[in-house]
A = this chain, B = another copy of it.
Amino acid sequence: MPTPSDTSAAPTDLVELLHRRGQRATPQRLVILRELRRRGRHATADEIRGTVRDELPGTSTPTIYAALELLVDLGLVRRIDAGAGATLYDARTEPHQHTVCRRCGRVDDLDGAVDTAALEQASARAGFNTRAVEVIVSGLCADCAAAVAAA
């Protein structure tokens, strides 16, 4: 069993991570992360702002964005660029991919397996320091495919 001082593994405790970097555990940051985790699904900054304000009225938009960026930096949250200004934040940590519908913009989780080892090797050869590999499957969702076929 790990000793109490064994904190070498990547922690998921926001307060601890912040204090390690000399940063502050503000209620805004805690609530934003809790909200992302509660959802268990990717969400836009705007959606997060909506629910965070229920609990913490007055939370400003810049604060939301700053907190999300910080959480991404800390590795607690993934940023997903679903194209055309559709930026999503996701606290789901298991590796997974996303489908993005080109017609309606809908984004869904996809639990597939992608071998990224070769990619990371290739990028390392170019001196690139890989932090994450993002896979976006774009096309038409079931609803839009049906709508296009009917037209």
* A residues at B contact (CB < 8 Å): 79, 81-85, 87, 97, 99, 101-102, 108, 110-115, 118-120, 122-123, 126-142, 145
Contacts and interface: CB of A to CB of B under 8 A. Distances in A.
Given A131-B140, A133-B135, A134-B138, A110 B83 contact: no
A122 B118 contact: no
A137 to B, nearest CB: 5
A126 B108 contact: yes
A96 to B, nearest CB: 10
A22 to B, nearest CB: 15
Within the oligomer, what is the number of copies of this chain? 2
A85 B79 CA distance: 13
B119 A97 contact: yes
Contacts of A131: 102, 138-140
A109 B133 CA distance: 14
Nearest to A72: B102
Contact of A81 (B83, B110, B111, B123): B83
Which of A102, A123, A145 has the most CB atoms of chain B within a 10 A radius of its CB?
Answer: A123
Contact of A145 (B81, B112, B129, B137): B129
5 contacts: A81-B83, A128-B142, A131-B138, A133-B137, A134-B137
Contacts of A108: 126, 128
